[in-house]
């Protein structure tokens, strides 16, 4: 899509959507840069305390969202996806999940991030993936998650 068309589409949005898109783009950009600077070895401390996939599923089932929180979580997922497509660089699944988790937390909404590995591939071709759930809302990366076996989960209590 041409830049002038993107701008027109952006300006047609209501103020709340524009703010959400700007926040998503800023968080995605910052996280992409930060994750690139700190290297893979130090990234896990950003995730929080690791749990098993079963613990993550249990924590996610315990999340009860009000209708307003459910709408907010879905809008954040939408904003992350739209902002990622509009940025002039690729933002892979991990910074998307981390950005969405931070945006949810800022609004007091709990979530669970899962990390998974692709099965059935030679070791040098194995891919990894991150996805984020907030109760019954699929926030980021869930469509692709079916191809991956989760090996860790990171629950967020919804604080800041």
At 138, the pLDDT band (50, 70, 90 cuts) reads: very high
54-104: pLDDT as tens digits: 999 999 999 999 999 999 999 999 999 999 999 999 999 999 999 999 999
92-102: pLDDT as tens digits: 999 999 999 99
Q: Running DSSP on this structure, what letter comes out for residue 51?
A: B
DSSP-based three-state secondary structure for 149 = strand
At 36, the pLDDT band (50, 70, 90 cuts) reads: confident
DSSP-based three-state secondary structure for 127 = coil
CA 133/CA 109 separation, integer angstroms = 11
H or E segment at 98? helix 93-106
Q: Report whether pLDDT(7) > 80.
A: no
């Amino acid at each position: 899509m041409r830049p002038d068309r993107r701008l027109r589409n952006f300006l047609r949005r209501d103020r709340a959507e524009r703010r959400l898109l700007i926040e998503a783009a800023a968080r995605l950009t910052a996280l992409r840069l930060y994750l690139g600077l700190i290297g893979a070895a130090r990234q896990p401390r950003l995730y929080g305390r690791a749990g098993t996939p079963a613990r993550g599923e249990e924590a996610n089932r315990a999340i009860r969202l009000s209708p307003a929180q459910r709408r907010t979580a879905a809008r954040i997922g939408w904003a992350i996806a739209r902002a990622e497509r509009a940025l002039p660089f690729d933002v892979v699944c991990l910074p998307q999940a981390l950005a969405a988790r931070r945006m949810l937390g800022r609004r007091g909404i709990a979530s669970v991030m899962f990390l998974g590995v692709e099965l059935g591939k030679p070791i040098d071709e194995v891919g990894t993936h991150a996805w984020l759930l907030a109760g019954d809302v699929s926030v980021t990366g869930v469509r692709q998650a079916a191809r991956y076996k989760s090996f860790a989960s990171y629950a967020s209590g919804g604080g800041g």
